[in-house]
Structure 1
Amino acid sequence: MQVIATAGHVDHGKTSLVTALTGMQPDRLEEERRRGLTIDLGFAWTTLTSGRTVAVVDVPGHEKFVGTMLAGVGSVPAALVVVAADDGWSAQTAEHVAVLDALGVRHGLLVVTKSDLADPAPVLADVRERLAQTSLGEVPGVAASSRTGDGVPAVAAALEELLAGLPAPDTVAPVRLWVDRAFTIRGAGTVVTGTLAAGTVRAGDRFDLGGREVVVRGLQSLGEPVEQAAATARVALNLRGVAVEEISRGDALLTPGAFRDTAELDVVLVRPAERLPAELVVHIGSATVAARVRPLDDAAVRLRLAHPLPLRVGDRLLLRDPGTRTVHGADVRDVDPPELHRRGAARARAADLAAGGGALADLARRRVVLRAEFVAMGWSVPAEATAVGRWLLAPGLADELAARVPAVVARYRQLRPLEPGPPVAVLRSALELPDVELVAGLVRAPLQLRDGRVVAEGGLPEPVQRAVSAVLARLAEQPFAAPDAEELAAAGLGPRELAAAVRDGQLVRIAEGVVLAPGVEERARRALAGIAQPFTLSQARQAWGTSRRVAVPLAEWLDARGVTERLPDATRRLR
């Protein structure tokens, strides 16, 4: 399916043309039919000769309903510009075309209606020349009469060519469905409609709607129930989890996590403007929001929105001055812009925006950013970026930070010689990182990450190392003869020194005041394997050749590690 929008003056017969093409009356409201005046968005569709389906969004032509008109054209890829042969170009036509131009619509078809009332040739030539100066460029033109039917088949044929030339939509992209209608159906509940410009919607999908989760109970496209609908398409979604009173035109159904709401953004005008008002109205999709304007230069602008919108880099906005009805197209360049405090910061920022640079330049400015947040801004991940867990680092930044780690470790150990190295939280603070998760990607050999610290081999001070080596020499001869507290203190091994030796893996703490050599678990198991099972504590003590001071905590330590099992009668056995 493809979706197009009509544009033109209220009296130019565009609604009649839509009816002639589709056999459907797009005006839904009784007042619209009575007055012959499109007030709200109308919808119709038909299947062309080729089998291609086209849906038409019929937008109001009257100047009083320009806001509604913008809600209808904001998500469509092509436009049907309708002008009457007996009237020609009008102020409302100019306004509609200015909107299409500001939105950057590049595909269109001109239809001159009421060809039975006047010669359409002069109007065709005049309007095509005017359209050629806009984003639409050279468009085909067809004359037709909805009253007589003359030219209507030619319009359908021209539509075939127009639709065949439209770029293929991205059907796997995240969904951002701007709501243009919300209502209830008895027995079904809340229903919203919109133009699906990208992505695919399926029954059962979960979306974010204003910070709450909603579920698609069912969906229709062109009045028929479907299991799924892919862009570009008109869809009606039956939602669970929200009341119709909580939804309004301009809300958006979003793929969770794929978009970030922003109330401040930097944009670049499609055409520079010497002077902008302090306040404008921003339009995107079916959304309308007031914004305060801070010009950075004659092309770059910072907008502060009255309420946040789910925007991405690359979005095209329409900025409208309600007072003069002037419209400006603007491309979103940054949805999380930097603060501007210093003198000259605004002009420097404008220069950066003008230079562009894309995702790589944006990442270089941010230096470190969450991958999901970066993608939600609308950027693709540059191949040059460094990924560390959930984070992205600017090219070269990981090497730059890693080069600083040894100095931080050395300084920490100088101040705390009995500790093997700084905890990762200390590195995070010293390197001004947003998360300790990043430290793992910055530790290079011979340093290593161990037990939440950044450590180097041979980490004990020389006097402590001599004392530990003496203890290990003694334990090599008598593996279970743990030195007592007095012996340890005499050797210069107090609680802090022992803790450092245990962290360094040179001693094993069995209990408070009881340390043995690494490998004690296997030695104890082998000694116990040589006695009858089950065994008493006394038998274990004799097998180990040690005192009760060591045997009791050692037996409990082995129980806790699953080497031995204590039985109800207080005996033990090897597992």
Structure 2
Amino acid sequence: MSKRFYTIGMAGHIDHGKTTLTKALTNVDTDRLKEEKERSISIELGYAPLHLDDESQVSIIDVPGHEKFIRQMIAGVAGIDLVLLVVAADEGFMPQTVEHLDILRLLGIHKGLIVVTKMDQVEEDMIELIEADISDQVQGTFFEGSELIFVDSLSKKGIPELLEKIKEYLKDLPMRDAAGAFRLPIDQVFTVHGQGTVVRGTVYEGAVEEGDTLELLPSGKKVRARQLQVHHQPQKSGRAGQRVAINLGGISKHEVKRGDVLVSTQFYTTTTTVDIALDTVDSLEYPLKQRGYIKLHLGTAEVYGKIVFFDRNELTEDKNVLCQLRLDEPIVTKRGDRFILRRPSPVETIGGGVVIDPNGEKYKFGEATIDMLSRKKEGTPEEQLVDLLKKRKGMTKSEIEKEFSLGVGELEDLLKELLDNGTVVSFGNKLVLQSVYEEMLELVKEELLAYHKENPMREGKNKAELKNDLLFYGSDLAESVIESGVKEGLFRKNGQFISSADFQPSYPAQWAKRMQQVEDTIVKQGFEVELYEYIVERAGLPSHLHDELRHFYLRTGFAIELDDKHIVSTEAFQKAAIAVYEKTEDRFALQDAKAVLNLTRKYLVPFMERLDSMGYTKREGNERIWVKKPE
């Protein structure tokens, strides 16, 4: 099964034990700065790998709890899949816990566990009171009704139970989209001696391969992903949901900052005017004036700007507001991205919400604009259906009818229009966006290129493994796309193996000379060939390549296996087979073949058995009958 990638965030008040809990779960101390250790508080984001099983790769982000470091906290939780809300047993809910909870809600995070730390510091009979207090505090949030897990990070009490609960929650979480265009908001920039500029971040969507050309936005500078690491381990690729460090070529550290975004070239643009649907916090302490100054937190970016209302001159208590942000600096975003708005002074979280149009324009004040923004938020039927298919990848008509609020006749007309103009394509009973189909084809191409690079002597990747790489889209759709690519001539199919259309198996460059030496020796020695292991060892090939090369020779037809210790060139075998055929009668014995070839039984017996297995001869007692002529 394909590996699944997730990011877990720690949230909660300062000194409630987030960093200690992270260490108890991962054995990694995420407070790495001297100032953090001296003050015993987290200032910057901390990251640690959490090993749960071989099927998943999980990163934990330890976000600062102090109110002065709230911007780091927002950058940290913006890319997480599951949150652990940490509450200390000896203090309970505190102001920062409440603000963190607001931010999580506004960012659209809806999966979490409540972890009560420092349980050894309270009496057993206090547990019930703590549970009741926390339950009251989370009323009306996505934590309402959540089970509380009590732990003590120092004694490790409750840690095994927490790990099991995390595994259980992640099992039901969908993975981030690894098939779309690559996007990585940068949260750390540094240099490594001898390597140059390195950036870190959580991959929001898509995938990146070592050697890819990327674009740094908003500067637009082209860079190359020279090397990749995931939690200090070199990797050839990084996918949505992973914490990735990328060594960038073609740029200095001074040209990159936190908040910049690495993207696949051409897929993303920058903007300074954004239409939004804003959801405010429960109670704003100060009203927000028309064109009031705000600070936008989106991904890892922090940008100042002004808020523009179209139906009011002041924001007080309304929960949902359609409005616009006009920013001082460009950002990278797209429809559906979540954000947080804060007031720079006096400092206060205003609210958060979703981007409904990343490329807003100047509109007139009034109801007409609000109606337009409302329609834009909901989307046209076509936009809604396209969004649904982007999310679900492949769907049947009946599945669309169940999830799409449009009359059957109207839906039929819309689907026909989308099929006719090429927006949607059909595979069997599945309907798929043309863009999704192209994304899948690109993913297959990338997987095959990577496989050929790693295994140049193999004829291709097993189709079942290739389908597993596309598991995110569903097995049936993956099958259809692969077969379609074969019909279009993009891929070549040989039995159960799929390869790029122009791929030909060959020796890996670094071992080509020695492998050619093996080939030349086998040809030169003819039928009386040495043990295969002697030949490859004398050529200096590493042991892990011995079987790989042997199978390569057999698959490509260069050699034929006499027995499990000898392979002979196909040319020498066929030459011997033709010679015996031409100089023996229709029925012949072992001695007759020996008279022709002058071989010892060591080679002659497996030769005769191979003639049988290849269908040239048929054995009857101590003799053989020619069935067909060797060619």
Same fold (TM over 0.5): yes
Q: Which residue of 2 aligns with 1:262?
A: 271
* Other structure's SS at 2:121 match: coil
Q: Which residue of 1 aligns with 2:352?
A: 329
**Contact between 2:102 and 2:281, CA under 8 Å: does it hold in 1?**
no
Q: Which residue of 1 aligns with 2:28?
A: 24
CA deviations 1:504-525 (Å, max 9, x no partner) are xxxxxxxxxxxxxxxxxxxxxx
Letter in 2 for 1:307: E
Equivalent residue in structure 2 for 1:276, among 279, 288, 302: 288
Q: Which residue of 1 aligns with 2:191?
A: 184
Q: Which residue of 1 aligns with 2:330?
A: 308
Q: Which residue of 2 aligns with 1:52?
A: 56
**Offset at 1:320?**
1.5
**Offset at 1:229?**
1.6
Q: Which residue of 1 aligns with 2:241?
A: 232
Q: Which residue of 1 aligns with 2:402?
A: none
TM-score (norm 2): 0.56
Structure 2 counterparts to residues 369-518 of structure 1, below 5 A: 384=417
Letter in 1 for 2:160: P
Letter in 1 for 2:71: G
Give me the whole-angstrom Cα distance separating, in 1, the residues matched to 2:187 and 2:415. 35
- Say yes or no: does 1:36 pair with 2:44: no
- Say yes or no: does 1:349 pair with 2:349: no
Give me the whole-angstrom Cα distance separating, in 1, the residues matched to 2:221 and 2:46. 29
**Offset at 1:311?**
1.1
Structure 2 counterparts to residues 545-564 of structure 1, below 5 A: none
CA deviations 1:129-152 (Å, max 9, x no partner) are 433522455433200011221111
Give me the whole-angstrom Cα distance separating, in 2, the residues matched to 1:337 and 1:384. 27
**Contact between 2:340 and 2:351, CA under 8 Å: does it hold in 1?**
yes
Give me the whole-angstrom Cα distance separating, in 2, the residues matched to 1:113 and 1:317. 29
Letter in 2 for 1:308: P
**Contact between 2:49 and 2:60, CA under 8 Å: does it hold in 1?**
yes
CA deviations 1:431-483 (Å, max 9, x no partner) are xxxxxxxxxxxxxxxxxxxxxxxxxxxxxxxxxxxxxxxxxxxxxxxxxxxxx
Equivalent residue in structure 2 for 1:13, among 13, 17, 24: 17
Give me the whole-angstrom Cα distance separating, in 2, the residues matched to 1:387 and 1:66. 50
**Offset at 1:2?**
1.4
1:17/1:288 Cα in 2 relative to 1: closer, same or farther (>3 Å)? same
1:335/1:146 Cα in 2 relative to 1: closer, same or farther (>3 Å)? same
Letter in 1 for 2:288: L
**Contact between 1:267 and 1:330, CA under 8 Å: does it hold in 2?**
yes
Count of aligned pairs between the two proteins:
373
**Contact between 1:104 and 1:135, CA under 8 Å: does it hold in 2?**
no
1:212/1:45 Cα in 2 relative to 1: closer, same or farther (>3 Å)? same
- Say yes or no: does 1:154 pair with 2:161: yes
Letter in 2 for 1:169: R
1:343/1:130 Cα in 2 relative to 1: closer, same or farther (>3 Å)? closer
1:343/1:114 Cα in 2 relative to 1: closer, same or farther (>3 Å)? closer
Give me the whole-angstrom Cα distance separating, in 2, the residues matched to 1:361 and 1:151. 45
Alignment RMSD: 2.7
**Offset at 1:354?**
5.5
Give me the whole-angstrom Cα distance separating, in 2, the residues matched to 1:4 and 1:176. 19
- Say yes or no: does 1:143 pair with 2:170: no
1:382/1:258 Cα in 2 relative to 1: closer, same or farther (>3 Å)? farther
**Contact between 1:276 and 1:295, CA under 8 Å: does it hold in 2?**
no
1:199/1:349 Cα in 2 relative to 1: closer, same or farther (>3 Å)? same
1:257/1:85 Cα in 2 relative to 1: closer, same or farther (>3 Å)? same
Structure 2 counterparts to residues 211-226 of structure 1, below 5 A: 211-226=220-235
Unaligned runs of 5+ in 2: 312-317, 387-413, 424-631
- Say yes or no: does 1:63 pair with 2:70: no
* Other structure's SS at 1:180 match: strand
* Other structure's SS at 1:21 match: helix
1:106/1:362 Cα in 2 relative to 1: closer, same or farther (>3 Å)? closer
**Contact between 2:82 and 2:112, CA under 8 Å: does it hold in 1?**
yes
1:383/1:223 Cα in 2 relative to 1: closer, same or farther (>3 Å)? farther
Letter in 1 for 2:91: D
Q: Which residue of 2 aligns with 1:124?
A: 131
CA deviations 1:35-82 (Å, max 9, x no partner) are 111011111112125653321111100000001111111111221110
- Say yes or no: does 1:243 pair with 2:252: yes
Give me the whole-angstrom Cα distance separating, in 1, the residues matched to 2:281 and 2:164. 38
CA deviations 1:127-174 (Å, max 9, x no partner) are 244335224554332000112211111111111112112112211111
* Other structure's SS at 1:270 match: strand
**Offset at 1:324?**
4.7
Equivalent residue in structure 1 for 2:205, among 179, 193, 198: 198
- Say yes or no: does 1:169 pair with 2:189: no
Give me the whole-angstrom Cα distance separating, in 2, the residues matched to 1:96 and 1:87. 16
Give me the whole-angstrom Cα distance separating, in 1, the residues matched to 2:25 and 2:36. 19
Q: Which residue of 2 aligns with 1:469?
A: none
**Contact between 1:132 and 1:139, CA under 8 Å: does it hold in 2?**
no
Give me the whole-angstrom Cα distance separating, in 2, the residues matched to 1:215 and 1:382. 41
Give me the whole-angstrom Cα distance separating, in 2, the residues matched to 1:342 and 1:284. 26
**Offset at 1:255?**
1.2
**Contact between 1:6 and 1:80, CA under 8 Å: does it hold in 2?**
yes
Give me the whole-angstrom Cα distance separating, in 2, the residues matched to 1:340 and 1:110. 44
Judge which range, 152-161 or 182-191, deviates more: 152-161
**Offset at 1:386?**
10
1:295/1:159 Cα in 2 relative to 1: closer, same or farther (>3 Å)? same
- Quote the sequence identity (%): 35
In terms of fraction of residues, the more helix-rich structure is: 2
* Other structure's SS at 2:267 match: coil
**Offset at 1:301?**
0.8
**Contact between 1:282 and 1:319, CA under 8 Å: does it hold in 2?**
yes
Give me the whole-angstrom Cα distance separating, in 2, the residues matched to 1:40 and 1:272. 25
CA deviations 1:241-263 (Å, max 9, x no partner) are 11001111100001111112111
Give me the whole-angstrom Cα distance separating, in 1, the residues matched to 2:149 and 2:161. 7
* Other structure's SS at 1:89 match: coil
CA deviations 1:294-315 (Å, max 9, x no partner) are 1124510111011111111111
Letter in 2 for 1:159: I
* Other structure's SS at 2:75 match: helix
Judge which range, 314-323 or 340-349, deviates more: 340-349
**Contact between 2:310 and 2:366, CA under 8 Å: does it hold in 1?**
no
Give me the whole-angstrom Cα distance separating, in 2, the residues matched to 1:332 and 1:262. 12
CA deviations 1:80-100 (Å, max 9, x no partner) are 110000000000101111110
**Offset at 1:179?**
0.4
**Offset at 1:11?**
1.1
**Contact between 1:261 and 1:308, CA under 8 Å: does it hold in 2?**
yes
Give me the whole-angstrom Cα distance separating, in 1, the residues matched to 2:132 and 2:374. 41
Letter in 1 for 2:146: V
Q: Which residue of 1 aligns with 2:561?
A: none
**Contact between 1:207 and 1:255, CA under 8 Å: does it hold in 2?**
yes
**Contact between 1:180 and 1:250, CA under 8 Å: does it hold in 2?**
yes
* Other structure's SS at 2:227 match: strand
**Offset at 1:337?**
2.6
CA deviations 1:282-333 (Å, max 9, x no partner) are 1111111112011124510111011111111111111112325223122111
TM-score (norm 1): 0.61
Q: Which residue of 2 aligns with 1:94?
A: 98
